[in-house]
C-alpha cells in the first residue's frame, strides 16, 4: 500500500513537471512568434524607405537628363539653321528667286521713281512748253498712243500741261487712223511722214522738227 502511494506521488510530480515544461515551451513559442511578427512589421517600413530612395534617385536622374537635353538644344538648333542655310544656297531656285527680286526692284525703281508722271521733279513746269507743243502741231507732227500705255504717260509727263496742244491720236478710239499710219507700238511720233517709235526727249523732237526756240 505504501509503495503504491509513493508511486502515485511520483507520477503526480512527473505530471506537474511535464505540464511545467509544456508551459515553458508554449511561452517560448509565443515569444518567438512575437519576434517574427515584429520583424515582419518592420520589414514593410524598410521596403517603403528603400522604394522612396529609389524614386528619389530616379527623379534626380531624370532631372540630370533634362538638363543635359536642354544644354544640347541650342547646339541642335544652330546645326539645323546651318543645314537650312547650306541647303538654300545649294538650291538653284534660290538664285532664280534672288534674280527675280532684283528685277522687280529695278523695274519699280525705273518705272515708279524715274517715271515723270509719278515724280514731280521730272515734270515740266505748267505751260512751259506751250509754244513748242503748238509749233509741233503746226508742223503736222502727230503722236499715236493709248491711255493704258505707261510709256505714253511718260511722254505726256515730259510736256506737262503743254501736252494739250499736241496732236494726239488715241489708237483705242481711232484704230483705223493708227492702222493707216502703220503704228506698231506706243508711243509713236509721226514727223514729216516718218514714224519714230518710243519715248522721245523734247530735245530730240526739237531737232527732228528744226525748232529754233529754247527747250
> How many angstroms separate the CA atoms of 23 and 45, rounded?
34
In a domain? residue 61: no
In a domain? residue 204: yes
Is there a single domain that holds both residue 149 and residue 196? yes
Give pLDDT tens digits for 19-51: 777 777 777 666 665 555 455 554 444 455 555
Is there a single domain that holds both residue 108 and residue 147? no
How much of the chain exceeds pLDDT 90, in percent? Answer: 40
The pLDDT-based confidence of 69 (bands split at 50, 70, 90) is: low
Is there a single domain that holds both residue 42 and residue 96? no
Is there a single domain that holds both residue 179 and residue 146? yes
In a domain? residue 103: yes
Give pLDDT tens digits for 123-158: 555 789 999 999 999 999 999 999 999 999 999 999
Is there a single domain that holds both residue 43 and residue 84? no
In a domain? residue 58: no
In a domain? residue 72: no
Cell of 5: 502511494
The b-or-e profile of 51-85 (16+ CB within 10 A means b, else e) is eeeeeeeeeeeeeeeeeeeeeeeeeeeeeeeeeee
Task: Tell me how far the alpha carbon of residue 109 is from its chain's centroid.
Answer: 26
In a domain? residue 99: yes
Cell of 132: 513748242
C-alpha to C-alpha distances, 68 to 65, 179, 200, nearest whole angstrom: 5, 80, 72
Is there a single domain that holds both residue 202 and residue 159? yes
- pLDDT (mean) for 67-83: 61
Query: Over the chain, what is the mean pLDDT?
Result: 77
CATH number for the domain spanning 201: value is: 3.40.30.10
Is there a single domain that holds both residue 168 and residue 106? no
Is there a single domain that holds both residue 137 and residue 187? yes
**Number of folded domains that form the chain:** 3
Pairing state between β 142-145 and 167-170:
parallel
Q: Cell 517709235 belongs to which residue?
A: 197
> How many angstroms separate the CA atoms of 93 and 99, rounded?
10
Is there a single domain that holds both residue 98 and residue 171? no
First to last CA, the chain: 176
* Cα-only R_g, the chain: 57
In a domain? residue 142: yes
pTM of the shown model:
0.45
Among 134, 137, 132, 143, smallest CA distance to 203 is for: 132
Say yes or no to pLDDT of 120 above 50: no
- Best-predicted range by mean pLDDT (81-85, 86-90, 96-100, 208-212): 208-212
> How many angstroms separate the CA atoms of 104 and 99, rounded?
9
Is there a single domain that holds both residue 131 and residue 183? yes
Residue 183: domain span: 125-208
In a domain? residue 97: yes
Amino acid at each position: 500500500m505504501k509503495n503504491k502511494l509513493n508511486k502515485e506521488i511520483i507520477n503526480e510530480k512527473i505530471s506537474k513537471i511535464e505540464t511545467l515544461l509544456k508551459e515553458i515551451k508554449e511561452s517560448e513559442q509565443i515569444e518567438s512568434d512575437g519576434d517574427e511578427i515584429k520583424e515582419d512589421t518592420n520589414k514593410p517600413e524598410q521596403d517603403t524607405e528603400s522604394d522612396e530612395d529609389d524614386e528619389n534617385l530616379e527623379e534626380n536622374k531624370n532631372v540630370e537628363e533634362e538638363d543635359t537635353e536642354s544644354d544640347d538644344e541650342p547646339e541642335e538648333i544652330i546645326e539645323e539653321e546651318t543645314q537650312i542655310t547650306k541647303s538654300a544656297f545649294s538650291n538653284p531656285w534660290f538664285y532664280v528667286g534672288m534674280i527675280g527680286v532684283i528685277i522687280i526692284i529695278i523695274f519699280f525703281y525705273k518705272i515708279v521713281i524715274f517715271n515723270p508722271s509719278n515724280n514731280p521733279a521730272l515734270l515740266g513746269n505748267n505751260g512751259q512748253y506751250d509754244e513748242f507743243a503748238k509749233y509741233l502741231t503746226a508742223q503736222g507732227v502727230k503722236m499715236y498712243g493709248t491711255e493704258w500705255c505707261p510709256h505714253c504717260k511718260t511722254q505726256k509727263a515730259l510736256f506737262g500741261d503743254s501736252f494739250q496742244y499736241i496732236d494726239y491720236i488715241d489708237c483705242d478710239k481711232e484704230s483705223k487712223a493708227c492702222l493707216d499710219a502703220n503704228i506698231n507700238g506706243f508711243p509713236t511720233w509721226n514727223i514729216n511722214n516718218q514714224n519714230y517709235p518710243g519715248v522721245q526727249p523734247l530735245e530730240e523732237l526739237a531737232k527732228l522738227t528744226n525748232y529754233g526756240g529754247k527747250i
